[in-house]
Amino acid sequence: MQNHEPPAQNRARTLFDLIAIGVVVLILTVIHYTNYHYEMNYHILLQFAYYLPVIYAAMRFGPAGGIISGLVITILILPLMLSFQAMSPSAMYTQWVEIGLINVIGWLTGFLTEQERKASRKHQLALLVQTQLVEKLKQEGQERKRLEGEIRQTERLTALGHMSAGLAHEIRNPLGIMKVSIQLLAQEKSDDGVVSEYCRVLLEECERLNRLVSEFLSFARPKEPVRRGIALGKLLDEGVALIQPALGQHHIELLQARSQVEEHVVEVDPDQIKQVILNILLNAIDAQGDGGVIQLEGVRQVGFVGFAVSDEGSGISPDDMPYIYDPFFTTKEKGTGLGLSVVHSILDQHGGKISTTNRTNGGVRVEILLPSI
């Protein structure tokens, strides 16, 4: 049995038990010696009382307690036994057997008590190991689910990329011809306001379609990252500088919490990671609407450093959350649904991680982690 008492309280209890055992033994011995003139049977019966302190000492202090208390009682009672000269041989034999039994029972009780304590400690240790194993299996199960989700995501993206990259190229070629033809038509019919307006709308749609194809190509066939060491804070500063016009247009305040994390150097493709920063911040601006505060802060995990962006928007529906990294999945009216897919693809190439959660007080928190060097 493990002792969970404080050291001072444990010492006080030990001292009390030693005093109590000593007092009981002393009282019994005094009764023996002050009533020596009684019959031998009286002393034999009284001698049985010695079992109580011996057994308690053995249970409290183990084999050592039982053996020592038995020897002390033997030493104390031996003179009284030798003083009974008229004792019959059978009575003398009984007395010596009784003394022997006191010592044997003291040792045996202490031995069994110690074995029970060892078994109890082993049982508690086994329970602790079992609890740790269950917790480890639970963590491994969660990690396995996360990895399986990432594998499924990667498989979907890879299949879609191989299937659609060629189609995107084929779309871009006639799209370029359409754009040139519309521009020529607009020049020829510049005096016709209706035709000019139609041509303007067509050119805008061509540009939007061209941007969509460009984003899709960057997602379907991502460039191999050209890595170099760069401070995380420098990347964040450059990304924030690029979205300042969008922040001003929507009257949004960017609250950037500086930390030592930003001094860490990461080995990445700066252009690709700046694209990640831009996509995350622009998503936050779109979710925020006009006004309010967007928070940007450094984060750190074991082996990773990165940043987190928190907005004050309406959050993401729990039904939509599993699909936010899928290509072409979007809840925006004019969104392509490729922004987070591109971010996920870039981070995969860099060995990084992305996690998106709804905040308890409203809005979304997106956390980006990159391997630390």
Least confident of 60-64, 65-69, 87-91, 175-179: 87-91
β-pairing, 265-268 vs 253-257, is unpaired
Interatomic CA distance for residues 349 and 346, integer angstroms: 5
Q: What percent of the chain clears pLDDT 90, i.e. is strictly above it?
A: 13
What is the pTM assigned to this prediction?
A: 0.49
> Could you state, in order of their start, the residue ranges of all structural domains in the chain?
7-135, 149-220, 228-371
Q: Which two tokens stand for residue 296?
A: 């940007």
Least confident of 11-25, 131-145, 200-214: 200-214
The answer to whether the CB of 352 falls within 8 A of the CB of 273 is no
Interatomic CA distance for residues 243 and 363, integer angstroms: 20
pLDDT (0 to 100) of residue 309: 94
Q: What top-level class would CATH report for the domain 228-371? A: alpha beta
Tell whether the model's pLDDT for residue 37 goes beyond 60.
Answer: no
The answer to whether the CB of 20 falls within 8 A of the CB of 59 is no
If one counts every other C-beta atom within 10 angstroms of the C-beta of residue 199, the result is 21
pLDDT (0 to 100) of residue 1: 46
Q: Residue 326 to residues 160, 193, 256, 355: CA-CA distances in angstroms?
A: 10, 42, 29, 14
- Nearest alpha-carbon partner for 277 in 252, 307, 245: 307
Q: Residue 202 to residues 158, 169, 189, 261: CA-CA distances in angstroms?
A: 33, 20, 14, 47
Instruction: List, for residues 219-268, the tens digit of each pLDDT value.
Output: 666 678 888 999 998 999 998 888 888 898 889 999 988 777 888 889 99
pLDDT (0 to 100) of residue 84: 60
